[in-house]
Every structure is written in C-alpha cells, then in structure tokens.
C-alpha cells in the first residue's frame, strides 16, 4: 500500500511577525476626550446637590434675571463693583473646582469684551470700556453660579412656575437627556473604531460620515420609541409641579439681599 507523503508549504512554517505601520489617530482620541468631558459635566450638573443657602430654584432664577436687568440699566460704576464683590462672596461658598471654572469663564468673557472695545478705548472712552467689561464679568458670573448651584431637573421645574409653555420645557428637558444618550452611543462607536483601526489607514476620515449617518438613524429610532412610550403612558405634553413653594430662611435671606440690590440701584444705579 503506497502512502502519499505531503510536504507542508514553506509559508506555513514561517513565523508571523506582523508589525503594523504606525498611524496617527489623534482625531479619535480628541473626539473621545471631548465626549467624555461633555458627559461628565452633564452628569455632574444633574447629580450635584446644591447648598440650601441658595434658596428655591424659581427664586434663584428670578433673582438672577432681576440682577442682570439691573446691571444692564445701571449707569453707576459703583453699583457694578458692589455686585461683583457680592457675587465673588457667593462664589467663595462653592467648591474649589467650580470656583476656578466660573472664574475662568467670567474673566475670559470680560477680557474678550475689553479687547473688542479697544478702538473705543483709544478714542478716549475709558469709562465705557471698563464699565461694559465689568458688567459682562458680573453677568457671566451670576449665570454660572445659578447653573452650578442648581440641578437641571430643578431648573426645568422652576420654568413651570413662571408659566413657561410646556412645549419649551419638553424640548429643553428631552434635549438634555438625548445629549447624554446619543453621547454614550457615539462614544461606544468611537471606541469600536479605535479598536479596529490597526495599521495605516488612509481612508479613516471617511468613517466619520458613517458614524454621523448611524447617529442620525439611531436618533430617529429613539425618537419614534420615545413617542410610542409617551403615547402608551398617556402623556399629553402637560407638565405638572406637585411641590408647593414654601419660604425658608434661605429664601427670606435671598429676598433681603435682592431688595438691598434694588435699593442700591435706585440710590446709585442712575447716578
């Protein structure tokens, strides 16, 4: 009986030492870091427990809007300085990380305004340039203090107190939640793209269009599922606030401070 002997091919006996060419995937890493940063900010904002000193969310929104209005109408530099000092005092009660973040945003906006007003400064309008920069500093600081000391859910609930249309609250609430959901979905897609990007890929930028198309389809499917879920649960688009507004010591203190601002505005604001 003849047994046919087969010889293994030479290429099967060779060691596989595959060394992929180095490639730059900076855009993937930057996209992942950007999404992680945005999602972390939203989660931190929604999970933050504000200090009880700052009062009811609806009252804080009203005080912030009134303060911005007084700053816009004021012609007294002393009033603007007093508001900035009071806001810095309130800012000092927050966490160190939040203080640094708010100061960076406020100073950046104020410096940018001052740079824009350099032509007016060269023409001799020193008072106007410094005044507007100080107002921008106080306005941005006040809005950021409100944002970092209040949950998103409390802000949307407070909007109902001011009789804001339900459609506006619905769009705002759903938008914030969908940013988180779609951000997590796109983050997983970027992770998958990074794991599959082995070696030199000259057409890697074409994958961005694929991710964008997939995100569009996913968002459409999620919108249809959410609409069906709301319809099954009998949601009519009407928001109801079950918590009743009760004055606390913090609310009374906030109202007293606000009345003090109004008095200072009347006394100095139009001087």
pLDDT of 162: 75
Backbone angles phi, psi at 133, to 5 degrees: -65, -40
Distances (CA, A) of 176 to 77, 116, 143, 173, 213: 38, 32, 18, 5, 21
* Distance from C-alpha of 241 to C-alpha of 124, rounded to nearest angstrom: 53
CB 156 within 8 A of CB 193: no
Mean pLDDT by runs of 10 across the 271 residues of the chain is 62 67 62 67 57 67 88 86 89 84 88 86 81 90 85 74 77 77 77 68 66 79 81 75 68 84 79 49
pLDDT of 197: 67
pTM of the model: 0.66
pLDDT of 50: 47
Selection from 217, 225, 230, 227 nearest residue 185 by Cα: 217
* Distance from C-alpha of 209 to C-alpha of 228, rounded to nearest angstrom: 29
pLDDT of 52: 44
What is the DSSP annotation of 80-148? HHHHHHHHHHHHTTS-HHHHHHHHHHHHHHHHHHHHHTHHHHHTT-HHHHHHHHHHHHHHHHHHHHHHH
């Amino acid at each position: 009986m003849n047994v046919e002997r087969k010889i293994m091919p030479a290429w099967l006996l060779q060691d596989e030492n595959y060394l992929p060419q180095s490639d730059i995937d900076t855009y993937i890493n930057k996209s992942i870091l950007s999404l992680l940063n945005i999602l972390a900010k939203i989660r931190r904002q929604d999970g933050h427990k504000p200090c009880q000193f700052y009062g009811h969310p609806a009252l804080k929104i009203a005080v912030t809007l009134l303060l911005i209005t007084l700053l816009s109408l004021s012609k007294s530099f002393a009033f603007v300085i007093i508001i900035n000092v009071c806001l810095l005092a309130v800012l000092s009660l927050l966490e160190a990380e939040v203080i640094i973040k708010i100061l960076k945003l406020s100073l950046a906006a104020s410096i940018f305004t001052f740079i824009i007003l350099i032509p007016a400064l060269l023409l001799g309008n020193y008072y106007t340039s410094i005044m507007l920069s100080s107002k921008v500093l106080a306005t941005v600081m006040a809005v950021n203090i409100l944002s970092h000391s209040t949950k998103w859910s409390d802000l949307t609930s407070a909007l109902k107190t001011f009789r804001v249309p339900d459609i506006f609250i619905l769009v705002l609430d759903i938008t914030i939640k969908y940013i988180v959901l779609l951000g997590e979905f796109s983050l997983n897609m970027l992770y998958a793209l990074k794991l599959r990007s082995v070696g030199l890929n000259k057409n890697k930028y074409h994958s961005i269009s694929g991710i964008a198309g997939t995100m569009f389809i996913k968002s459409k499917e999620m919108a249809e599922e959410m609409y069906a879920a709301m319809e099954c649960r009998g949601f009519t688009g009407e928001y109801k606030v079950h918590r009743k507004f009760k004055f606390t010591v913090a609310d009374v203190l906030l109202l007293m401070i606000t009345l003090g601002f109004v008095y200072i505005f009347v006394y100095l604001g139009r001087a």
